[in-house]
Amino acid sequence: MPNDRLTTAGGETRKGFRVSYAAACDRLSKGMAVFSMGMIGLYVVITVANVLMRYLFNAPMGWVSDMNAIFVPLAMAPGLAVAAARGTLIVVTMVGERFPRPMRLVLTAMARAATVAILAIIAWKVFGYAASTLAQHRTTLLIALPIWPVWYAVAAIFALAVPLSLAPPLTNPTE
């Protein structure tokens, strides 16, 4: 059963939608981080195999270079969503930490609003690029794999980063 309670630094326990939403976003971001690491790991394995085939047997696997167009966007996009969910996408505290708590909260809210707006714009633009790759029937160079599914997946991941960036942190040591 998911943990829908939050114990603050003061020892009080909170529960409810806000904490459940934060816990769901935390679980989703952890799953996305594992997916991203898996994609990077798989790409490293096929690249090492290609190097070994090239230098040991003089038989490179040409299709490995095409996998760059698939693995890299699918591995990097979840990283943005995970950073958004953890609140580490944009962290500027040098100036804000000198202000009193109410002003810090206002600055944090403004930064989160700007982050949400930028992430929404990125998702919208990537969705447009995905539609363009579909309309132009773009493929990888050597083995002609269509790349539009990759870019629609990346657009969906970026779109998912928007609500993830709104998730409150599960632990808040300043309370």
**φ, ψ (nearest 5 deg) of residue 21:** -65, -45
Q: Identify the pLDDT of residue 12.
A: 54
Per-residue pLDDT of the chain (175 residues; tens, 9 = 90+): 444 455 555 555 566 777 888 888 888 989 999 999 999 999 999 999 999 999 999 999 989 989 989 999 999 999 888 888 777 766 666 777 788 888 888 888 888 888 889 999 999 999 999 999 999 999 999 999 999 999 999 999 999 989 888 887 665 444 4
CA angle 105, 109, 172 (to 5 degrees): 55
43 lies in a domain?
yes
79 lies in a domain?
yes
Q: Please tell me the total count of domains within the chain.
A: 1
Q: pTM for the complete prediction?
A: 0.80
171 lies in a domain?
no
Secondary structure letter of residue 95 according to DSSP: T
CB atoms within 10 A of CB 95: 8
34 lies in a domain?
yes
Amino acid at the residue 167: A
Token couple for 73: 């966007």
d(CA 160, CA 25): 10
63 lies in a domain?
yes
Amino acid at the residue 18: R
Q: Identify the pLDDT of residue 80.
A: 84
170 lies in a domain?
no
173 lies in a domain?
no
146 lies in a domain?
yes
Q: Are strands 5-7 and 13-15 parallel, antiparallel or unpaired?
A: antiparallel
Q: Give the residue numbers spanning the domain of 78.
A: 5-165
